[in-house]
Structure 1
Amino acid sequence: MSTIDIKAELRKEYAADLPNIWNRIKAYYASIDQSLDGLVLDPEGNVDFYADYQIALADFSYQTQTPMLTPVIAFDQTLTNHSNVQDSSTVSFTRSETASFSFGFKEGLKIGTKAKVKVGIPLIADGEAEVSGELTFDANQQWTTSNTQSWSASETVNIPPNSTLRVQGIIQNAKTKATFSGFARVTDGNVLVWFKYTDPTKGYTEFPIPVTVLLTKDQRSFPVSGSYDGIEGVSTNWVVNPV
């Protein structure tokens, strides 16, 4: 398993882009009405990256999806019409189901002891839903979690004269194995940046500056990948059969 040393990667990106970083710093200080007169960015690139960065797992996509659908019966009832004319009845159900998810990462993250990894991973079944939480990377780089999904559905059933129907409301659960790719992105935290006085008698000074000012989103994003194994509800449907 490869390991991504977050602080080392940030330092590498910083050292490779000093001219642009200096321009970003000047723009940032101008935006907060503070002056950097008499200072230039330390030409040696001296900088201290702290240990309390917030990291987000973001921009996830899935490949090699192999869902297997399993029906869960949430409603099961017979409806009888003893009359000589067609009747109708509205049926409904509300039910909660537990969805579970396991993510195995190929890349480990070496992060500071105070760093936090925020997880907001979109679900395969619904690109607008996501599983969220806070992750501490351990030796095997696994993250397993669950959440509760609430399902509601209703249907109007037409019952022919002198007949009985069996009505079932179904929740379709999908068990999916897939591979995924995404990014571990540093989203918050400060960097202690060193500056050199233009007056040679004064030496150096330093200021904390947000990492999001110094480095672009791409410079703060590091690719991760792995395998996904999950069970989640994906849809509801009704089944009506004569008895």
Structure 2
Amino acid sequence: MDELKGDCANCFGLCCVALPFAKSADFAATKDAGTPCRNLLADHRCGIHDQLRPKGYAGCTVYDCFGAGQRVSQTVFGGVDWRTAGRQQMFAVFPLVRQLHELLWYLAEAHRLDPHDDLAAAFAEVEQHTVATPDAILTLDVAEVRAKVNVLLLRTSERLRTSAKSYRGADLIGARLRNKNLSSADFRGAYLIGADLTNSDLARADMIGADLRGADLSGADLSTCLFLTQPQVNAARGNARTKLPAALSRPAHWTAEPTRRR
């Protein structure tokens, strides 16, 4: 699924311009949508890419466009730089295509786990939206597309999970869930901010939309989690004993930042 991974070399720094962010623990300064980040260089590279966390831009290390940046830059707008023309339209299209690419990632993952023709057909349909004209993308009802895809993802989840344990949408902020057997549990949309999942078994747990910001995954087994994404992993904390799906990378800050001690 390389086409669903960000390729900054073929993007016009869209996430650094089109999206807003507010000064906080994640960002050292406030930036309005459509305004270039002060760290963006003329060639669309980040001037502090290797120092984002020390410089106060941890939020940038969590973000992933799922390949939408290069799709918008090179395909939808044919390689025309936003500095040249069409900047407002490009900035409006980018977040929509990003949502579509996230759906493509989920569909590809579902098809890998449980191949079905309906998943392949849905992938092809959503992909067509991502290569449409800017006007067509701007008039697309992305919420309707998401709802249709969600039905298929739910079916896949139900086929693959063996447990009826559900924490869907649950407020588990700061929850103590260490050393728990949470295999096949449904964590869709759950708030796991700062939760302690140390050494817990999350095999086949459905993690779509789960908020893992600051969650401690030290020693946890997420190797067969359903629909776990790189941004979720990047937002969490972990260590060398944390087991991740083969398609995901261990965040560099996991080795740089010690986990909590009890």
TM-score by length of 2: 0.21
Specify which structure has the bigger relative contact order, considering alpha-carbon pairs within 8 angstroms and separated by 6 or more residues.
1
The structure whose residues are more often strand, as a share, is 1
